[in-house]
Chains A and B, each alone.
Chain A
Amino acid sequence: MFRRLLITAGFLATLAGFFSNSNEADAGDPYAMTQVWAHNYAMDRPWHGGYYYQNSGVPQALIVPPTAHMRQTLSWGVSQNLMYPIYHQYGRSAGAPASGAQGRFRATPQWPSHTDQFGVNYVRGPW
């Protein structure tokens, strides 16, 4: 009887381990230091690349969850697939250049060789 109970408890614990969201974003970062780092990095880096999105003429922001950490770029060739942190996050204050000037960004090349050339950039949603 006791053995069966023990087995059941172990099984339930295993199930709970499978189904619980143990990989939350704030795990291991109780003081949100990565938030501060990402914010500081975002302050002196643009959220966009040098290319515009074909449908809108300006770089396109793609909203990802605020718990997202990394983005991956794909390109031709070995060792061209790189991972970068996603620094930028949406915030309250409206930025100064609301719209970019025409011709400020390059078009996607006819034969794109890099995912950054499509002009879609990740920006994390607000908390």
Chain B
Amino acid sequence: MKRQIINQLVCTAAVAVLATSVPSASAQSLGRGEQIVNAYVVSDTVVGGSGDCSSGSYVGDLANENASFDSSFDGESFAVGDYGTGCVGRKYGQPDLFYNYFTQGNCNAVNAQMYPSPGPVSPEVGNTYFTYQPFYPEEMLYTHKNRFHNYYDNGRGMNRTRAVYWTPPVRTAMSNFYWNYLRLPR
């Protein structure tokens, strides 16, 4: 029993040392002032702050997997919820509100982005983005179902939106009948 306690103490001290020594290396791995709506952000997670949270230090941020990475926990060394190196912490999704899409491949002489705004402009000029994901135009292209997850309260809460994109059958049938048979081709 006594030995176990000593072992635990040693482990705790080691983890604490690890936890306090790591942040200086990787605190700047994500661009702090980077905007969400950037034509060249390629990530599934929000980069940069969003107003009320001063520096985007969400629990689920990649740089904040460990509690000690969070700026609000500076000066304290948490051993209970901390993970040593080589361990994968618990993550909370912070997906982008909007991201652009690009053509893929290794043989393109030029790449196209899906949302040029308003025309093909340089990426510094402007971007189009939509604030409600189920209304994305690319969702309207075909009949399908999709789910959208919105995390709030620093990843502790999740809101799920299920959207069904379909065509009303009678109206579509009538429209197809008109456009394919009745309409004069001219």
Contact residues on A (Cβ < 8 Å of other chain), bracket: 35 or more
CB B115 to nearest CB in A, in angstroms, measures 10
The SS class assigned to the A binding surface is: loop
Partner of B110, one of A43, A48, A93, A125: A48
A123: which B residues are within 8 A, CB to CB? Answer: 103, 112
B109: which A residues are within 8 A, CB to CB? Answer: 46, 48, 97, 100, 104-105
Partner of A94, one of B40, B106, B142: B40
B88 contacts partner chain A, Cβ-Cβ < 8 Å:
no
A residues near B, CB below 8 A?
Answer: 18-21, 24-25, 39, 42-48, 56, 58-61, 63-67, 88-100, 104-105, 123, 125-126
Q: By the criterion CB–CB under 8 Å, are B114 and A95 in contact?
A: no
Partner of B114, one of A48, A60, A63: A63
B52 contacts partner chain A, Cβ-Cβ < 8 Å:
no
Contact residues on B (Cβ < 8 Å of other chain), bracket: 20 to 34
Partner of A61, one of B39, B103, B143, B170: B103
B138 contacts partner chain A, Cβ-Cβ < 8 Å:
yes
Bound Cα distance A89, B138 (Å): 12
B120: which A residues are within 8 A, CB to CB? Answer: 56, 58
Q: Which residue of chain A is the closest to B112 with respect to CB atoms?
A: A61
Q: A47-B108, A67-B142, A92-B99 are in contact. List 19 more A-B contacts (CB 8 A).
A: A18-B173, A20-B169, A21-B166, A42-B104, A44-B107, A46-B105, A47-B103, A48-B110, A60-B112, A61-B114, A91-B101, A92-B102, A93-B42, A95-B111, A96-B111, A98-B40, A98-B123, A99-B122, A125-B138
CB B144 to nearest CB in A, in angstroms, measures 8
Bound Cα distance A97, B109 (Å): 6
A-B interface, 3 closest residue pairs, ranked by CB to CB distance from nearest: A95-B111, A100-B110, A19-B169
A99: which B residues are within 8 A, CB to CB? Answer: 110, 122
CB B18 to nearest CB in A, in angstroms, measures 33
CB A92 to nearest CB in B, in angstroms, measures 6
Q: By the criterion CB–CB under 8 Å, are A97 and B110 in contact?
A: yes
Q: Which residue of chain B is the closest to A60 with respect to CB atoms?
A: B112
Q: Given A63-B138, A65-B141, A94-B111 in contact, is the A42-B105 Cβ separation under 8 Å? A: yes
B111: which A residues are within 8 A, CB to CB? Answer: 94-98
Q: By the criterion CB–CB under 8 Å, are A88 and B103 in contact?
A: yes
Bound Cα distance A89, B109 (Å): 16
A105: which B residues are within 8 A, CB to CB? Answer: 109
Contacting residues of chain B (135-168) with chain A, CB-CB under 8 angstroms: 138, 141-143, 166-167
B39: which A residues are within 8 A, CB to CB? Answer: 94
B119 contacts partner chain A, Cβ-Cβ < 8 Å:
yes
A89: which B residues are within 8 A, CB to CB? Answer: 104
Q: Given A94-B111, A99-B110 in contact, is the A21-B143 Cβ separation under 8 Å? A: yes
**21 A-B contact pairs sorted by A residue (CB < 8 Å):** A42-B104, A47-B108, A48-B112, A56-B119, A60-B112, A61-B112, A65-B141, A65-B142, A66-B141, A67-B142, A88-B105, A89-B104, A90-B103, A94-B39, A94-B40, A94-B100, A95-B111, A98-B123, A99-B122, A104-B110, A126-B114
